[in-house]
């Protein structure tokens, strides 16, 4: 008679989190269009049935992965906020933060996949909008609403260009562009 293996207790929240994290990784590597329940289950080391049990539709699974990415981004934005508030030179500090951000190209791809997915799927738009609101909210305190959105549009363009071309960030050029953009719109912290 063979000994029975003891049943391992299943932790539903841990499985859900593992699947969301695995979905985030698969999305970053393959894109939203190539993400499948099977690929996510394999990445998480869980049976295929677990993905469909916790996330019945592929859209649910993708949204969970993107929400997981959003949670990571929120933590990053809090760190950026602390650093930018303490920075004596915001354009230089922003450039440094963008350089650091671009060191994890896999994470950057994932976050930009969110934009593309939200353009196709309106249910993902609130997640994308929350992501897009993070940095403007931080910069707005120093430069005002319009300048903050212009600064973020510049940063998005620079980041996207670096991702598409595989090139390194031209830090002096970005800092100079940020100085031009911010010098034309002086804003004193704390004033309306």
Per-residue pLDDT tens digits for 38-57: 999 999 999 999 999 999 99
With bands split at pLDDT 50, 70 and 90, how would you rate the model's confidence at 1? Answer: low
Query: How much of the chain exceeds pLDDT 90, in percent?
Result: 47
Residues 113-123: tens digit of each pLDDT = 777 877 877 87
Question: Residue for token digits 């985030």?
Answer: 24
Using one digit for the tens of pLDDT, what is the confidence trace for 121-146? Answer: 787 788 778 878 888 988 998 888 99
- b/e map 167-184, b = 16+ CB within 10 Å: eebeeeebbebbeebbee
Return mean pLDDT, the chain.
85
Q: Write down the pTM of the prediction.
A: 0.75
pLDDT average, residue stretch 62-69: 83
Alpha helices in the chain (DSSP H): 12-30, 37-44, 48-54, 58-86, 90-101, 105-120, 125-143, 145-165, 171-183
The pLDDT of residue 3 is 54
Span 166-176, pLDDT tens digits: 999 999 999 99
pLDDT value for 94:
95
Q: Which CATH number fits domain 12-183: 3.30.450.20, 1.10.357.10, 3.50.50.60, 2.30.40.10?
A: 1.10.357.10
Across the range 63-79, mean pLDDT stands at 84
Residues 49-61: b if buried by 16+ CB within 10 A, e if exposed: ebbeebbeebeeb
| Tokens coding 103 | 């060191």
pLDDT for res 29: 81
Is pLDDT of 6 > 70? no
- Is residue 15 pLDDT above 50, yes or no? yes
Q: Give me the pLDDT at residue 184, please.
A: 64
Residue 188's pLDDT is 47
């Amino acid at each position: 008679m063979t000994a029975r293996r003891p049943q391992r207790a299943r932790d539903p929240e841990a499985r859900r989190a593992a699947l969301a994290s695995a979905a985030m990784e698969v999305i970053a590597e393959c894109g939203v269009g190539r993400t499948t329940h099977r690929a996510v289950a394999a990445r998480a080391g869980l049976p295929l049935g677990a993905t469909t049990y916790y996330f019945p539709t592929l859209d649910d699974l993708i949204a969970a992965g993107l929400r997981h990415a959003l949670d990571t981004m929120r933590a990053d934005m809090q760190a950026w906020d602390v650093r930018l508030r303490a920075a004596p030179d915001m354009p230089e500090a922003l450039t440094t933060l963008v350089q650091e951000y671009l060191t994890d190209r896999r994470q950057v791809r994932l976050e930009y996949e969110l934009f593309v997915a939200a353009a196709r799927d309106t249910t993902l738009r609130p997640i994308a909008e929350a992501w897009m609101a993070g940095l403007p909210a931080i910069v707005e305190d120093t430069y005002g609403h319009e300048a903050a959105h212009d600064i973020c549009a510049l940063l998005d363009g620079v980041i996207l260009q670096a991702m598409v071309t595989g090139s390194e960030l031209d830090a002096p050029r970005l800092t100079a562009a940020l100085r031009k953009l911010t010098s034309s719109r002086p804003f004193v912290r704390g004033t309306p």
